[in-house]
Amino acid sequence: MDKKKNSMASSSSCTDEDSFKTPKAIRVRSCGINGGTNGGTPITIPASPFMKKLGCGTGVNVYLMDRMGKLNASPWAVKKINNKCAARQMAVYQKRLNEEAKVLKGIVHPNIVGFRAFATAKDGSKCLAMEYGGEQSLNDLIEKRRADGLKAFPPANIEKVALHVARGLQYLHNERKLLHGDMKSCNVVIKGDFETVKICDVGVSLQLDENMRVSDPKAVYIGTEPWKPMEALEEGGEISDKADVFAFGLTLWEMMSLAMPHLEMLGDDDEVEEDEEESMEDSFDEDAYYERLGTRPALDHEALGGAYRRMVELFYLCTEEDPKKRPSAAQVVQALESNAPLSQKQSEVIVID
């Protein structure tokens, strides 16, 4: 097994900012997923410089679009292809965005950001407009909490994220027969003081069969390297709904440790000089990092205290190396909603004692 061939999915050769010869609004019609217009009302997508940038991913940027002039209209999050990508990459990202729009259009759930429109600008670039699910990603909140010198999130916040994300995953797995394929804190958006919790970015989702396994033998699990389960790192590993559950467990770990899985050895201080960054890179033990991938990261549960016991136990169950020992999303939801105890027997409801 050569784990070093699995590069982090979040990396990209694209730059962060879109460039424009003349910044101006682009007026388009809401488009059908297969490219034709669906007769919707015209939509004005502002040029990127006139929208607040919310974040970026592999080959795309996400912007906040205020729908000015519409009474009580909620803002949208607009995902656009980064036009500074290399030409050979552009087609790949456009295809991926098109696939994401197809998937998202069929999803309706309170814990998953909703579809709003899929538009094509005059230059052929694609724009996916989505429900604006929250002010910040969970990853943003984790980084802010660490920068402020705080420790783990309160147990109630972690339990709320666990329940709401598990509900979203249960819907994807059981109702839509879809594997999210890239669960992590970056793909969970939070509104206010954990008022709402929603999963986002279904762009690399994979179809599941009736046995909850990825149905297409040619399908590739993308994910993001530190959150990948062992079966996604091994040649010929069988991918099932339990791959999402493993990454879900690591997302809870992020909230308790305020770190990125398997990269905690880099240190906690983000404010480092350039020469210090180079020194850290030189001292980074790459072999140790790749050895840790697909395993359960350490957690100082004693330092956390008894109030975190439920979430620590859930983290341990979800990050079992053997997928068969991990609970399903439906079992997690049932356990959290009923306050029942944990059992590792798959024939029983999982219980958190």
Sign of the alpha-carbon torsion through 32, 121, 12, 270: negative
CA–CA separation, 271 vs 285, rounded Å?
21
Catalytic residue among 18, 123, 148, 182: 182
Got the DSSP string for 93-130? HHHHHHHHHHHHHT---TTBPPEEEEEE-TTS-EEEEE
The neighbouring-strand residues paired with 55 are 62
What number of CA atoms fall less than 13 Å from residue 254's CA on the CB side? 27
Sign of the alpha-carbon torsion through 284, 288, 294, 296: negative
CA–CA separation, 38 vs 48, rounded Å?
25
The neighbouring-strand residues paired with 61 are 56, 80
The amino acid sitting at 162 is A
Closest CA to 82 of 34, 137, 30, 12: 12
Helix (H, G, I), strand (E, B) or coil at 193: coil
Q: If phi over 0 gives left and psi between -120 and 50 gives alpha, with beta otherwise, what is residue 212?
A: left
The amino acid sitting at 145 is R
The yes-or-no answer on residue 182 being catalytic is yes
The amino acid sitting at 277 is E
Contact 352, 335 (CB under 8 A): yes
Q: Could you give the angle at the alpha carbon of 309 between the alpha carbons of 137 and 179, nearest 5°? A: 45
Contact 195, 133 (CB under 8 A): no
End-to-end CA distance of the chain: 38
Tell me which residue has tokens 């598990």: 166
Tell me which residue has tokens 């999303």: 329
Q: Which residues are catalytic?
A: 182
